[in-house]
Amino acid sequence: RNILSNYFNLASILLLCTLLHTKTQIMNIFNFLENKYKLNFSTYLISSNFYLIPFYQKYNEFLPESSLPSKKFLTWFIGFTEGEGSFIVNNRGDLCFVITQSNLDVYILEYIKETLGFGNVIPQSKVTSRYVTQNKKEIELLIYLFNGNLILPHRKEKFEKFVKGFNLWVTKGRIILKTIEVKNTLILPSLNDHWLSGFTDGEGCFTCSINKDKGFSFNFNISQKWEQNIKILEHLCLLFNGGKVSKHTSDNAYEYRISGLTNCKNIFTYFDNYKLITKKSASYLAWKEVRTDLVNKYHLDPVKRIELKEKARLINKFN
């Protein structure tokens, strides 16, 4: 656990140094931590960007007549997958990639299918549908996309097992493909790409409650299971210059929360530039409208407070 903590502390420091363009300082910190903690980072590539060239090359090879998905979509899709996707290896060794959504959000699954140019959207139950692919070449293409581009440690563990399963799977059957080596790349969330937008579409929540008196709470939350993901949530405190991470009421779950009208200003700056595209988009716009009303002191007016309370209640009506 201490090694993992040091690992992400290093990443946060390196990202800050990169933003300051202090290459010498990066190397000094890198060498100091490697010597102090006896950690070996030689197999890790530290990056602040998603590397999509291998995916684009494989995509042109596999689907030469199709339009390339944009970087905007792919970085959103990576974030959304880290929140909602599943890398599955069944007991027979067959592989499956799945994203499950409520039928209210089935259009998102169709959007993913149409933009990627492969996969299927099928009903799972009366209330849910799934985007799914079990095709070897399509799975290979997704591995090229996610390889070295995942952020959450727990997702990386699942993905590594998925790739190991793939490397066994592709040596059997009618279609034989080359094995793939997992890339050990460290990327942290940024306010300069769509990853956090995609992840929030999957895992984020905008909330506001208006009390009977003049008080209120105004929050943006992201919850995530597994302790090894805590450092990623803590990094959001740095990005948004506020908030805190605490243990969630659910077992083995943790939550990043930033509260208050002033503290949440940086949240608006990000999501106004990197749009949400699920029903969370409607929640965000309603949340933003409620903030304007709160800034205008509507909660202090007994009549307007009743209307504002109803607005706040409807923020997550469809979530």
The reply to whether 8 and 82 lie within a common domain is no
- 190 lies in some domain: no
Tokens 């009390």 belong to residue: 211
Q: Do 57 and 180 lie in a common domain?
A: yes
Q: Give mean pLDDT, residues 126-147.
A: 97
Count the helices and strands in the chain (H runs, E runs). 12, 10
In terms of residue numbers, what domain contains 107? 53-185
Q: pLDDT value at position 38?
A: 47
Q: Indicate whether 207 pLDDT > 50.
A: yes
Place of tokens 């890198």: 30
Nearest to 191 by CA among 78, 270, 81: 270
The string of pLDDT tens digits covering residues 255-267 is 999 999 999 999 9
Residue 174 confidence (pLDDT): 82
How confident is residue 318, by pLDDT bands cut at 50, 70 and 90? Answer: low
- Residues 304, 230 share a domain: yes
86 and 11 in one domain?
no
Same domain, 178 and 246: no
Same domain, 27 and 85: no
Q: What is the mean pLDDT of residues 201-210?
A: 94
- How confident is the model over 159-182, as pLDDT tens digits? 999 999 999 998 887 878 899 999
Q: What is the pTM of this model?
A: 0.85
- 21 has a pLDDT exceeding 50: no
Summarised one tens digit per residue, pLDDT across range 55-67 is: 999 999 999 999 9
Asked if the model's pLDDT at residue 43 lies above 70, the reply is no
Query: Is 49 or 312 the better-scoring residue by pLDDT?
Result: 312
Identify whether 283 is part of a domain: yes
Provide CB contacts within 8 A for 126, sequence distance 6+. none
pLDDT number for residue 49: 83
Instruction: Specify whether 124 is located in the same domain as 236.
Output: no
- Does residue 109 carry a pLDDT above 70? yes
Distance CA 230, CA 207 (A): 21
What angle (nearest 5°) sits at the alpha carbon of residue 209, between those of residues 208 and 213? Answer: 140
